Structure 1
Amino acid sequence: MKKLFLSFLLTFIAGGIYALAFPSFLGAGWLPLTFIALPLFLWKLEEATFKSSLFLILGFNLGLDVVGYYWIPHTLREFGQLPYAVSVLLGAAFCLILQPHWWVYAFWKKFRPLGNWNSEKRIIITALVMTLLERYVQQQFPSYVGSPWLHLAPYLSLAPYFGVSIFSFMTYWLSLEVVAQLKTKHMRPQMWVGMGLFILLNASFPLKNPQSGLNLPVRIVQANIGNFQKVSSERGDANSYETISETYENLSKEDNGFKPHLTIWPETAYPDTFYGTESQLNEIFANIIQANDSELLIGGYDQDLTKSSNDYIESVFNASLLISGDKVKSIYHKNILIPFGETLPFGPLNRTIVNMVPAISLFARGQGIPVMETRAGFRFVTPICYEILESNYMRDLLNQWGSNHFIVNHTNDSWYGNTAEPHQHLFLSKWRALEFQLPIIRSTNTGISSIIYPDGSESRRLGVSEVGRLDVTLPLGKPTSTVYQAYGIFPLLLLVGLIYLITWFRERRIY
């Protein structure tokens, strides 16, 4: 029991160290910590029994939860008005679902074929299994072991070909080999040569931003509306509604000599409900369009026309609406809803729970992907909030209508306050710009709003709790698809298969 407790403590520490590779309360994060934390965790995990593995995974996730997701109790208090002690306990319980792929891996480890899983060939298989599990097992806040490599941008030239998954695979491969080589006290050069070539390839061809001569002047509006005022306006408070509407209108119309072609508001910015493309528009939209001679892209609510507007259960979509002239030109409905924030799994009990926790919104789930295109012919997609973190979903979104010029991510991180979450959300979003070689316009209610460029760099920011507007002339490339966008995980599978074959032939020659 004492040995198991010490192992639990070590994996808890490993989880905390791993969290610090990402943005945290200590700063922007540090990539090398990944290569300390993961071998430490895998060293204990690979030698453990099935039951002990579950205990150690709990320790790792708890360390990750306490250090990396320390903001969850604050969010629960802000969101659900829960007592402090209850929020802390529920925050700790999130460790059960933060990295669910590790629980699946424990079962795979239990039932995998017998043999020497410290051999070079089988370590390659294990690294691939870990990579696939973290990619396809649904996460509440999607992040990958390869994500901290972002600190090296723009020297990540393989991202448009393999996505973040190749960086995860290489991290798992190195970590497993380090554990095996330390245990056997035997140096195996293949992985070290492979990692050296991997770093060299990424560094030799740094990512670059487009130079096609195309550009789009955009204005990003960040109104910094507080949660209480936002909820009050959505529930019909006239004063809150007027204050919010005037704030967005004034920021959108501000005359500083810049003429935006597209003005962008964040997720659920407009407190009233739209009724599809036939909506009667409020005069503030006409005022903004007339003042700027621009189109508007706003986050808002769109009524499901197949359901009664008097029913608040799954009858309204979280939407992105493109307004051009005097009409709603196109509408995207959010597809991936956040559990316990935008949807609940309790069936007939959902209505009762919503009455108890008014901040929960039970949205309808979007179906289909409309064409979003500016009047100048620039095509784009509009993932909402955490949808940008789902690489598989983003591929589907971008591939629906062929080539695109840019991405707009509407977000509302107001529930998290001045914590590390807005920085983590922004950090992980950057991978989509690298994978698809498209700029991302990030529009948030309370920060951080900015433009992410295809090389991983950023425009000027509007920080957390800042009120303002960001005017940027966005350079655009010619619309093309990256290898990763076209083929997804398959290039990585081919590469890993090649590495496995090289290892197999090399071992045959030796033995």
Structure 2
Amino acid sequence: MEWLAGRIMLLSGARRALVAFTAGLTAVFALPPFGIFAAPFLSFPVLVWLIDGASGNPDHGVVRRSFPAFFIGWCFGFGYFLGGLWWLGNALLVEADEFGWAVPLAVIGLPAFLAFFYAFTVAFARLLWSDGIGRIAALAFAFGLFEWLRSFVLTGFPWNAIGYAAMPAPVMMQSAAVIGLAGVNMLAVFVFAAPALIGTRKGLRTGFSMAVLLVAAHFGYGFHRLAQPLPPPADPAVTVRLVQPLIDQSKKFDDSERWTIFEDHLTLTQAPVESGGKRPDIVVWPETSIPFLLTENPDALLRISEVLQDGQILIAGAVRAEDAGAGQPPRYYNSIYVIDDRGQIVGASDKVHLVPFGEYLPLEGLLSAAGLNAIAAAMPGGFSAAATRSVLTLPGGKTLYPLICYEAIFPREIGNDALPTNALLNITNDAWFGNTPGPYQHFLQAQLRSVETGLPLIRAANTGVSAVVDARGEVVTGLPFGVKGYVDTILPGKSALPMSPQEQERNGMLLAGLLLALAIISRGSFIFREN
């Protein structure tokens, strides 16, 4: 191992860049749908050894000395994000005539941009670099810092944060209920990078002992929490039906198909329950499942009232239009409607966090003048964002916290007003991305929100994965990707959180402080020994 570490440290030029890129690409295999937990244990030691050999000219300033590490981090990040996000190009091929030209920007351009977060991560870590366990702590702290920045800079895109590689199953998710995703990001990097100590031997015993203890605590706490009695369902129990219609995305743009799509949803809604089962109290359709403006189609509301039985409620994704005033075009929202058995809209919530270039155009005046449109917007100008998130209150008093599509990947999107609700509600339309890793990655991230909040999750996706997840992240029932159908289940109960979201965040900050302190002390000791 020492021989291998030495060879990697001494790499230069294109070979160094290729090894960094390959290491980042390898780490992707820890994510869905692969879930190879060992992959980052190969990637991160290689990254550490590359950083070991990335010392700039000591006669140069800090910026120029940091460039070799910056470049390694960028190559690693480019491999990671290219391997993890290439499927975004599928969305542009749905309307290839209009958006096909932008495929290279999505497949290569976005990963190249996101790679700069990891470039700064590695450059920052190199400033605190030492020759033992301190450098592992420095890398873990730096990843925690820049993954946190990635969650909100330029509206944020924390997709595939490193911590998800350490949480492929519910037993490995429970740590997030104590230290949050940010904390898991840091501890994951520390553990993944620990085998690098074998290559240099310095700090090996201490570093390995810490890594083994962290892994044991990670699994041990997971087994402990999952062994606790399940929270009882809400009283009275509520039966939920998830509808997964498997509508091809291109058909949604065909006016002649709209009513057929609508009727497909209704057919699944009124399908009989299994023998001995209870009829659903709530039926959930995916994002934008109603393929026209519902308020302009009274016949559609009438059809819904004909299909719903007494007391049943339909929750469905739809586009909502709002009058913007005299002389102004209407505003459109990506919304959720709550519709009762009389065909009345009794509740609604609009999407707050829109997808840049997907649902709206940044710098709209400039880019629209150049002939560009938002990819997923079915009307000129794209969608408008709601100022605040509206909790859905259902007839009967149950409340749901709505997350539309990729809002579920943002832990910080879920405010304190979520905790009193009965469940999280995530509706999405991942048909844009086809049968690629995207829908599976999306589901894992939504699943973790249940663990962090102690709330069950109701998730309806057009093409999958649709599921009801309990308050500890375990799937109660669901439909796999690519299956048309429906599934009924009783909504699980809420779980008491070991730590509130605020305490999770504070614990994450405390962990960051400890890692930073270890890195600084090790760096100081390293400089002292050199002098």
So what's the TM-score if we normalise by structure 1? 0.84
Q: Deviations over 1:30-80 (max 9, x none)?
A: 111112112212322454343333433342233234433332333322244
Q: How does 1:256-271 map to 2 (within 5 A)?
A: 256=273, 258-271=278-291
Which AA in structure 1 matches 2:41?
A: F
So what's the TM-score if we normalise by structure 2? 0.81
Residues 353/404 of structure 1: CA separation in 2 closer, same or farther (3 Å cut): farther
The counterpart of 2:24, out of the listed 8, 15, 18, is: 15
How far is the alpha carbon of 1:109 from its aligned partner? 5.0
Provide the residue aligned with 1:456 in structure 2.
473
How far is the alpha carbon of 1:416 from its aligned partner? 0.8
How far is the alpha carbon of 1:358 from its aligned partner? 6.7
Q: How does 1:409-488 map to 2 (within 5 A)?
A: 409-477=426-494, 480-481=496-497, 483-488=499-504
The counterpart of 1:494, out of the listed 475, 498, 510, is: 510
Residues 449/149 of structure 1: CA separation in 2 closer, same or farther (3 Å cut): same
Does the 8 Å CA contact 2:70/2:120 hold for their aligned counterparts?
no
The counterpart of 1:74, out of the listed 55, 69, 90, is: 90
Does the 8 Å CA contact 1:57/1:102 hold for their aligned counterparts?
yes
Q: Distance in 1 between matches of 2:383 and 2:468?
A: 28
Q: How does 1:51-450 map to 2 (within 5 A)?
A: 51-81=67-97, 87-88=103-104, 90-105=106-121, 108-109=124-125, 112=127, 117-118=130-131, 120-121=133-134, 123-138=136-151, 139-140=156-157, 142-179=159-196, 181-182=197-198, 184-205=200-221, 206=223, 207-208=225-226, 210-214=230-234, 215-232=237-254, 237=255, 239-256=256-273, 258-274=278-294, 282-289=301-308, 291=309, 293-307=311-325, 311=329, 315-326=331-342, 327-352=344-369, 359-361=376-378, 362-394=382-414, 396=415, 399-400=416-417, 402-450=419-467
How far is the alpha carbon of 1:382 from its aligned partner? 1.1
Which AA in structure 2 matches 1:321?
A: Y
Does the 8 Å CA contact 2:294/2:301 hold for their aligned counterparts?
no
Is 1:41 aligned with 2:47?
Answer: yes
Q: Distance in 1 between matches of 2:283 and 2:460?
A: 10
Residues 79/439 of structure 1: CA separation in 2 closer, same or farther (3 Å cut): farther
Residue aligned with 1:443, SS: strand
How far is the alpha carbon of 1:496 from its aligned partner? 4.6
Residues 118/492 of structure 1: CA separation in 2 closer, same or farther (3 Å cut): farther
How far is the alpha carbon of 1:307 from its aligned partner? 5.0
Q: Deviations over 1:122-167 (max 9, x none)?
A: 6535422321210232453622111122234324442211123332
Residue aligned with 1:81, SS: helix
Provide the residue aligned with 2:61 in structure 1.
none
Provide the residue aligned with 2:59 in structure 1.
none
Does the 8 Å CA contact 2:41/2:195 hold for their aligned counterparts?
no
Which AA in structure 1 matches 2:303?
A: I
Residues 191/322 of structure 1: CA separation in 2 closer, same or farther (3 Å cut): farther
The range that moved more, 303-312 or 462-471, is: 303-312
Residues 283/434 of structure 1: CA separation in 2 closer, same or farther (3 Å cut): same
Q: Deviations over 1:211-234 (max 9, x none)?
A: 3243320011111222222122xx
Does the 8 Å CA contact 2:125/2:138 hold for their aligned counterparts?
no
The range that moved more, 448-457 or 434-443, is: 448-457
Residues 328/421 of structure 1: CA separation in 2 closer, same or farther (3 Å cut): same
Does the 8 Å CA contact 2:175/2:218 hold for their aligned counterparts?
yes
Residues 125/61 of structure 1: CA separation in 2 closer, same or farther (3 Å cut): closer
Q: Distance in 2 between matches of 1:75 and 1:244?
A: 20
Q: Deviations over 1:317-366 (max 9, x none)?
A: 11112223543222221111111111111331344566767754511011
Does the 8 Å CA contact 2:359/2:374 hold for their aligned counterparts?
no
The range that moved more, 100-109 or 193-202, is: 100-109
The range that moved more, 353-362 or 152-161, is: 353-362
The range that moved more, 207-216 or 426-435, is: 207-216
Does the 8 Å CA contact 2:74/2:116 hold for their aligned counterparts?
no
Residues 437/355 of structure 1: CA separation in 2 closer, same or farther (3 Å cut): same
Does the 8 Å CA contact 1:4/1:52 hold for their aligned counterparts?
no
How far is the alpha carbon of 1:403 from its aligned partner? 1.7
Q: Deviations over 1:409-429 (max 9, x none)?
A: 110011111222111111222
Q: Distance in 2 between matches of 1:121 and 1:176?
A: 11
Does the 8 Å CA contact 1:273/1:303 hold for their aligned counterparts?
yes
Residue aligned with 2:30, SS: coil
Q: Distance in 1 between matches of 2:517 and 2:109?
A: 43
Does the 8 Å CA contact 2:166/2:188 hold for their aligned counterparts?
no
Q: Which runs of 5+ in 2 are unaligned?
A: 1-9, 57-65
Q: Distance in 1 between matches of 2:80 and 2:135?
A: 28
The range that moved more, 416-425 or 95-104, is: 95-104
How far is the alpha carbon of 1:188 from its aligned partner? 3.8
How far is the alpha carbon of 1:175 from its aligned partner? 4.5
Which AA in structure 2 matches 1:422?
A: P
Does the 8 Å CA contact 1:15/1:62 hold for their aligned counterparts?
yes
Q: Which runs of 5+ in 1 are unaligned?
A: none
Which AA in structure 1 matches 2:42?
A: I
RMSD over aligned CA atoms reads 3.4
Residue aligned with 2:279, SS: coil
Residues 500/225 of structure 1: CA separation in 2 closer, same or farther (3 Å cut): closer
Which AA in structure 1 matches 2:430?
A: D
Q: Distance in 1 between matches of 2:327 and 2:367?
A: 18
Q: Distance in 1 between matches of 2:122 and 2:25?
A: 20
Q: Deviations over 1:160-184 (max 9, x none)?
A: 11123332211222345544x3464
Which AA in structure 2 matches 1:451?
A: V
